[in-house]
């Protein structure tokens, strides 16, 4: 399946609940046979239900909760691979690592498989599962679940984090504004990230370049509070000057 088209189909179905093949083909500039193949694959993942001539959101299988995370995984997927590879270079054998539930931090895990004696503490449910697939020792923060992004947050998670001293923390956010503030719209996730940053020796923001210049409702921290920013390409002169030696890119 074409990943960009998959993301667009999921976004349309999540918003409109029901669609037709003809409508999707016209909106996405694709052939109807291609759209039918895409819908068939999405149905096999229990995300949608095919209907005569189209598809509807499969509410009974919690697709309304699962789709937002899948969309996040598909956003800037090539950029996230580049960022993950660069991030893994900062990890040393024996490190204790903290990560949030962002899809960018989740993407690092396969690139950690060449390291030894690692311990991962994460608020991401999918990250826990993926770490076990790569035989990486993993500890959940615990806490209550934000279903849309499979993130664990709250006082129980904060308490667990306070028990550990991390060598390095990898996290993401929705935007970095021109004043040097890292921002997001999830207050609960930001509070959890703030606890991770406090307990970590090295703090690394993973941020695709398309997030630079964007500002959301809740401040996480300032770029002065972190050690590195990893992105997939050279930023604009404005942001390169602001980030200084903290910016890392291929």
230 DSSP 8-state letter: E
Predicted confidence at residue 10, as pLDDT, reads: 83
Residue 116 main-chain phi, psi, to 5 deg: -125, 155
pLDDT higher than 80, residue 75: no
Question: Quick one: pLDDT band at residue 46, thresholds 50, 70, 90?
Answer: confident
Predicted confidence at residue 63, as pLDDT, reads: 60
Closest alpha carbon to 211 in 106, 123, 104, 122: 104
CATH 3.40.50.1360 assigned to domain 75-248? The reply is: yes
Question: Quick one: pLDDT band at residue 5, thresholds 50, 70, 90?
Answer: confident
Question: pTM for the full model?
Answer: 0.73
Helix (H) or strand (E) segment spanning residue 33: helix 32-44
Predicted confidence at residue 42, as pLDDT, reads: 84
CATH 2.160.10.10 assigned to domain 3-64? The reply is: no
Predicted confidence at residue 6, as pLDDT, reads: 80
Residue 20 main-chain phi, psi, to 5 deg: -115, 155
Residue 48 pairs with which residues in a beta bridge?
57
Question: Quick one: pLDDT band at residue 83, thresholds 50, 70, 90?
Answer: very high
Of 18-22, 60-64, 112-116, 212-216, where does mean pLDDT reach its minimum?
Answer: 60-64
What pLDDT digit, counting tens, does each position of 152-188 carry? 999 999 999 999 999 999 999 999 999 999 999 999 9
- Burial status of residue 230 (CB atoms within 10 A of its CB: 0-12, 13-18, 19 or more): buried
43 in the Ramachandran plot: left (φ > 0), alpha (ψ -120 to 50) or beta?
alpha
Q: Kindly report the average pLDDT of the chain as a whole number.
A: 90
- pLDDT above 90 covers a percentage of the chain that reads 68
CA distances from 174 to 8, 102, 177, 220 (A): 19, 10, 10, 10
What pLDDT digit, counting tens, does each position of 132-153 carry? 988 999 999 999 999 878 999 9
Outline which parts of the chain fall under CATH 3.40.50.1360.
75-248
Long-range CB contacts for residues 134-138, cutoff 8 Å, separation at least 24 = 134/109, 134/110, 136/109, 136/112
Outline which parts of the chain fall under CATH 1.10.10.10.
3-64
What pLDDT digit, counting tens, does each position of 13-33 carry? 877 888 999 999 999 989 999
3-state secondary structure 114-173: CCCCCEEEECEHHHHHHHHHCCCEEEECCCEEECCCCEEECHHHHHHHHCCCEEEEEECC
């Amino acid at each position: 399946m074409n990943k960009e088209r998959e993301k667009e189909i999921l976004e349309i179905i999540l918003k409109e609940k029901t669609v037709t093949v003809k409508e999707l083909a016209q909106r996405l500039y694709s052939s109807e046979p291609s759209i039918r193949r895409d819908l068939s694959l999405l149905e096999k993942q229990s995300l949608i239900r095919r209907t005569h001539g189209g598809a509807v959101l499969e509410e009974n299988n919690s697709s309304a909760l699962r789709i937002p995370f899948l969309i996040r995984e598909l956003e800037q997927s090539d950029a996230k691979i580049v960022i993950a590879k660069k991030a893994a270079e900062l990890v040393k054998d024996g490190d204790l690592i903290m990560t949030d539930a962002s899809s960018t931090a989740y993407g690092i895990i396969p690139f950690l498989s060449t390291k030894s004696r690692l311990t991962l503490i994460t608020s991401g449910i999918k990250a826990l599962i993926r770490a076990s697939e790569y035989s990486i020792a993993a500890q959940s923060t615990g806490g209550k679940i934000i279903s849309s992004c499979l993130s664990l947050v709250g006082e129980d998670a904060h308490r667990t984090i306070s028990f550990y001293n991390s060598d390095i923390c990898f996290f993401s956010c929705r935007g970095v504004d021109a004043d040097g503030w890292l921002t997001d719209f999830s207050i609960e996730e930001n509070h959890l990230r703030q606890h991770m940053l406090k307990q970590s020796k090295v703090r690394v923001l993973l941020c695709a370049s398309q997030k630079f210049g964007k500002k959301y409702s809740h401040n996480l921290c300032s770029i002065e509070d972190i050690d590195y920013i990893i992105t997939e390409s050279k930023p604009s002169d404005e942001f390169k000057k602001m980030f200084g030696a903290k910016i890392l890119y291929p």
